Amino acid sequence: MLDHQGPVSVTRALDAVLDEGADGTRSLTLGVAGDREVGIWEIEPGVAHDVEVDEVFVVLEGRATISVVGHEDLEIGPGDVVHLEEGTPTVWMVHQRLRKVYLVSADPR
């Protein structure tokens, strides 16, 4: 749900309808600011392997454990702010459907 009011917009992040991705996740790009993209991303419970992009995100709802080789597991949930460095291999164990607002480097394509 997007409410435009001139140069300002509001997205109800918990109510936003997201687009289905090929990998079973859902997302919605909200915009690009300079070389950064901001959006909403969601994943259902299960296990997912990833190699991260440089990202900062805030968990809106759900819970997960992120495993990174050589580091302690990250237990994340609502209100957590997380930074993942580009190139970091991770394993996500999603315990409850997880929805986050993210900020990543925009795709230069």
Average pLDDT, the chain: 90
CA distance 44 to 69: 23
**CATH number for the domain harbouring residue 60:** 2.60.120.10
The reply to whether the predicted model has a pTM over 0.85 is yes
- Alpha-carbon torsion 1, 77, 42, 96, what sign? negative
Residue pLDDT, tens place only, 66-79 = 999 999 999 999 99
Range of the domain at 31: 2-105
CA distance 108 to 106: 6
Domains in the chain: how many in total?
A: 1
Beta-bridged to residue 2, according to DSSP, are 11
